[in-house]
Amino acid sequence: MFPSQWETSVGGHVTYGDDTRETAVRELMEELGLVETPIYLGRFSYRGEEEKENITFFYVVTKKRPKLNRSEATKGEYLTIHELEKALSQRTFVDGTEEEFYVIKRLLSKQ
């Protein structure tokens, strides 16, 4: 959707009749080939120049190796939270990534 820009998460839009958890399960399978139960983390409303979204955050813990869907992304890598924070100033990310990052960091600190 945004060529040459990094994205920090698996994601998608909720389809009619689904809830956010069902969407998270579907997107995790479509983008990484993983079947896991997402754990709710929190919500965030983003109002940027390119997108306006109501975002629900989930996370998963798994020992399975993900398989990147090449029709969804050309490259993937794992970063620690500290590596990601540093990368925010060194790479081009999609609109709203920095705001999302700090919301996720705050929500994780409450876990």
pLDDT at 9: 83
**pTM: predicted TM-score of the whole model, two decimal places:** 0.81
- CATH architecture of the domain 20-109 equals Alpha-Beta Complex (3.90)
Residue 3 has pLDDT above 80, yes or no: no
- For the chain, the domains span 20-109
Q: What is the pLDDT of residues 36-68, one digit of tens each?
A: 999 999 998 888 887 788 889 999 999 999 999
pLDDT at 1: 66
Strands (E), the chain: 39-47, 52-59
What are the beta bridge partners of residue 57? 42
| pLDDT bucket at 12, cuts 50 / 70 / 90 | confident
Task: Look at residue 40 and give its three-state secondary structure.
Answer: strand
Question: Within 10 A of 5 (CB to CB), how many other CB atoms are there?
Answer: 12
